[in-house]
Amino acid sequence: MKQNILVESESVVSFEVKADSDNLEQFLKREYDVSSRLIKKMVRERSIFLNGEKVRRNVSVKKGDTVSLLMDDEDDNNLPEPEIELDIIYEDIDLVVLNKRPFTVVHTTQGHPIGTIANGLAYYFLENKIKKKIRFINRLDRDTSGVLLVGKNSFAHQQISKQFKDNTVEKTYLTVVDGVVGEDKATIDLPIERESEDSIMRIVREDGKRAVTHYEVVERYKDATLLKVRLETGRTHQIRVHLKHIGHPIIGDSLYFKESPDIDRQALHSYAMKLRLPRDKSEIELRAELPYDILNLIEKLKKA
């Protein structure tokens, strides 16, 4: 196979070797953080190329070589639905990034086989001839809006998932909480654990996992505050639990506070994520503007 056949796309990612290396596997791990699992998969499928030729993972590589990974076409099992609206805020050959709207389920499940973002993306992939499975990188529950990352291939998914695991993705949220927060900015460093073994609720507990939340005041109202929150860790319900613990639960949070007549979900929005792109490692910040219901809540609070 000639090298020029391996054109960069959703299915092909290529790396230039900048210095002599021991072997191909060590080069991919050390220089590009490609996981052993993905390398083994590529080797098993004979999908690793050196200067356009299929090779094994222990082959030597030298400065000026080109290493390419070829990811086979895949079938996605989600039913394509053209009527699902997608608010795409960024796209390249590795990623689709959405501003997820509230009240939308992300994954198909037995209870939600249709009407999900996965169904909408299945149609989008089909229309744009992206022959890959839909790989959600981060998770947002039904009632949380904001930045939602989707990988177009296994390489992108592995690369950015590792950034999440290593806590190198800078995650910023906007939320409206009950009461007037006194400090302009502060950090909550308190462990979180399940309330009980069979409960979905989390609480601050000494035997829990470390959780760190930084917040700063954006705007104060008569009986509420708009906060910008940055997560240093990513525990389940972390923002909701920490803010409740300091006496400022999120407005509309029926699980950790109470329902609100002004918004019918928790006023929590994944506003921005700063991460490194999978191929060239350049830093990018992805932002999703506030949805209508939180903007409407803020307007009501300003008039109160």
> Quick one: DSSP state of residue 248?
-
CA–CA distance, 238 with 234 (Å, rounded to integer)? 7
Q: What is the mean pLDDT of the chain?
A: 93
Contact 150, 135 (CB under 8 A): yes
Residue-wise pLDDT for 125-134, tens only, equals 999 999 999 9
Residue-wise pLDDT for 194-238, tens only, equals 999 889 999 999 999 999 999 999 999 999 999 999 999 989 999
Where on the phi/psi map is residue 155: left (φ > 0), alpha (ψ -120 to 50), or beta? Answer: alpha
Q: Which of 34, 37, 91, 36 is nearest to 68 (CA)?
A: 34
Domain 3-70 has CATH 3.30.70.1230: no
Place of tokens 């994954």: 107
Tokens of 252: 């509309």
170-303 matches 88-165 in CATH topology: yes
18 backbone dihedrals φ, ψ, rounded to 5°? -90, -20
Q: Catalytic residue among 22, 141, 223, 264, which?
A: 141
CATH fold group of domain 88-165: Pseudouridine synthase (3.30.2350)
CA dist 176 → 109, 243, 265 (Å): 30, 10, 11
- Architecture label for domain 170-303: 2-Layer Sandwich (3.30)
Residue-wise pLDDT for 253-300, tens only, equals 999 999 999 999 999 999 999 999 999 899 999 999 999 999 999 999
Output the pTM of the full model.
0.91
184 is catalytic: no
Pairing of strands 202-204, 192-194: antiparallel
CA dist 107 → 39, 64, 163, 285 (Å): 27, 42, 22, 24
Residue-range domain boundaries for the chain: 3-70, 88-165, 170-303
Contact 237, 230 (CB under 8 A): no
